[in-house]
Amino acid sequence: MLTLDRIYNASLLLKDIARKTDLLSSAGLAADFDLYLKAENLQITGSFKIRGAYYKIAQLSKEDKAKGVIACSAGNHAQGVALAAHKNNIKSTIFLPGNAPISKVEATRRYGAQIKLVDGVFDDAYDAAVKYQKETGAIFIHPFDDENIIAGQGTVGLEILDQLPDVDAIIVPIGGGGLISGIAYAVKNLKPNCKIYGVQATGAASMLKSIDYHKRSPLQSVSTIADGIAIKYPGEMTYELCTKYVDQFASVSEDEIAMAILSLMEKQKIVAEGAGAVSVAAAMFNKFPLKGKKVCAVISGGNIDVNILSRVLNRALTAYGRLTNITVELLDKPGRLKDVLAIIAKKGANVMEVEHN
């Protein structure tokens, strides 16, 4: 059973394992409310996932540890489990979807895990991991639907209340729901009047659909640059906790996520992955009633592949109206391109690239 004592116990256990990440003021991203950023992108492994993974594995018996552990992940949970297993001298086998960013796959492998890539998305990797667990008897470490995982993630909530005692609202990304469930449970039991807001990508809004339908409801497919929260089906336990403790839900578009990533880089010098930036996107684009409030947005991770980052930044620049593609048909005569460039220069613009045929 999830209790506040269990979350406090997790906090004590994680004291020398996970960082107490900074809470950063961010005046440049909000106009009419005070915005603070809980920088879990600066956590060990680049996301909050080490908290739940380590706490869960630490609770295993000696006999269970000897069996090894199995996990499935879109990337960040994989790294958390792999590192936690390494620190406990346990064998780990990690199932990842075939579209997982290369940077996350390689980082997981560096922690000593055996990697198995599965065609499809997270849910396909989950099915493969469950099948493998039944065949081998290894211990399955669920990425979100587990009380010890949720308790570990709930330590983020304890830290926020310690760092910003008068916080009015906390905005949290949602994938399967482990992070927001832990934060919401901890915060609502200690500061009931603090609002908890949950955010998903529009292309992977399984928790929002479930809340709307008043039951866990799977998506047929997911598509988003926020690969870390691209989950078709929320957890059973996390759905119940979200229903009870989360005040409001919203989704953000791909352009809004991209613009949040760019704004974090330019104004805060923070690199966030798509999943980590959805909370900031929700704050920037007024998804919740925040005027006059002290607000904390949780940046859940910063593990973004450089190739994806390049595309995301171009998308954001286009959405902001700072980058555009134009096609011009010119006569094949000397000086014609120079004339076009002169017009562009007169408008104070720069040419990034020229292609001609």
pLDDT at 66 over 80: yes
pLDDT at 192: 98
pLDDT at 349: 83
Average pLDDT (46-67) is 97
pLDDT in tens, 328-344: 888 877 877 788 878 88
pLDDT at 75: 75
Rounded CA separation 170/187 (Å): 9
pLDDT at 336: 77
pLDDT at 351: 83
Average pLDDT (157-173) is 99
pLDDT band with cut points at 50, 70 and 90 for residue 353: confident
Phi-psi region of 123 (alpha: psi -120 to 50; beta: other; left: phi over 0): alpha
pLDDT band with cut points at 50, 70 and 90 for residue 321: confident
pLDDT in tens, 234-269: 999 999 999 999 999 999 999 999 999 999 999 999
Tokens of residue 41, six digits? 């992108």
pLDDT in tens, 185-213: 999 999 999 999 999 999 999 999 999 99
pLDDT at 104: 82
39: which strand partners? 299
pLDDT at 348: 82
pLDDT at 303: 93
pLDDT in tens, 71-107: 998 779 999 999 999 999 999 999 998 888 788 888 8
pLDDT at 103: 81
pLDDT at 121: 82
**Distance in angstroms between the alpha carbons of the first and the last residue of the chain:** 67
pLDDT at 341: 79
Lowest-confidence segment of 44-53, 55-64, 163-172, 324-333 by average pLDDT: 324-333
pLDDT at 307 over 90: no
Rounded CA separation 320/24 (Å): 25
pLDDT at 357: 74
Rounded CA separation 129/138 (Å): 10
Tokens of residue 57, six digits? 């594995």
- From the list 125, 120, 123, the residue with the least C-alpha distance to 93 is 125
- Cα 129 to chain centroid, rounded: 21
pLDDT at 224: 95
pLDDT at 346 over 80: yes
pLDDT at 342: 82
The reported pTM is: 0.92
Which one-letter amino acid corresponds to residue 177?
Answer: G
pLDDT in tens, 28-39: 898 899 999 999
Report the chain's mean pLDDT, rounded to a whole number: 94
Domains within the chain, CATH numbers bracketed: 4-48+146-312 (3.40.50.1100), 50-141 (3.40.50.1100)
Average pLDDT (280-302) is 98
pLDDT in tens, 213-222: 999 999 999 9
Tokens of residue 272, six digits? 């966030």
